[in-house]
Amino acid sequence: MALRRWVQLLAAGCAILPFWASAHDDLPIFDAHVHYKQPAWGPFPVSTVVELFDRSGVAMALVSSTPDEGTLRLWAYAPLRVVPELRPYHGEWGSGNWQRAPDMAAYIEDRLIRYPHKGIGEFHVHVASQANRELLAEVARMAIERNIPIHLHSGPGPVDLFFELQPELTVIWAHTGLGESAATVWNTMSRHPNLWADTSLREWSILEADGIDPDWLRILTTFQDRMMVGSDTWVNGQWENYEGIIRDHRAYLTLLPREVAEKLAYRNAERLFGVKVTNDLIGKRR
**Predicted local confidence at residue 11, as pLDDT:** 45
Type of residue at 136: L
DSSP track, 72-113: HHHHHH-TTTEEE-B---BTTB-TTTGGG-TTHHHHHHHHHH
Count Cβ atoms below 10 Å from residue 199 Cβ, excluding itself. Answer: 26
- Which domains are assigned to the chain? 2-275 (3.20.20.140)
Task: Let me know: does 274 contact 40? Beta carbons within 8 Å.
Answer: no
**Predicted local confidence at residue 24, as pLDDT:** 79
**Predicted local confidence at residue 20, as pLDDT:** 37
Q: What does DSSP assign to residue 21?
A: B
Task: Let me know: does 61 contact 31? Beta carbons within 8 Å.
Answer: yes
Three-state secondary-structure class, residue 129: coil
- Give me the tens of pLDDT residue by residue for the chain, a chain 286 residues long: 333 444 444 444 343 333 334 567 899 999 999 999 999 999 999 999 999 999 999 999 999 999 999 999 999 999 999 999 999 999 999 999 999 999 999 999 999 999 999 999 999 998 877 668 999 999 999 999 999 999 999 999 999 999 999 999 999 999 999 999 999 999 999 999 999 999 999 999 999 888 999 999 999 999 999 999 999 999 999 999 999 999 999 999 999 999 999 999 999 999 999 999 999 999 999 9
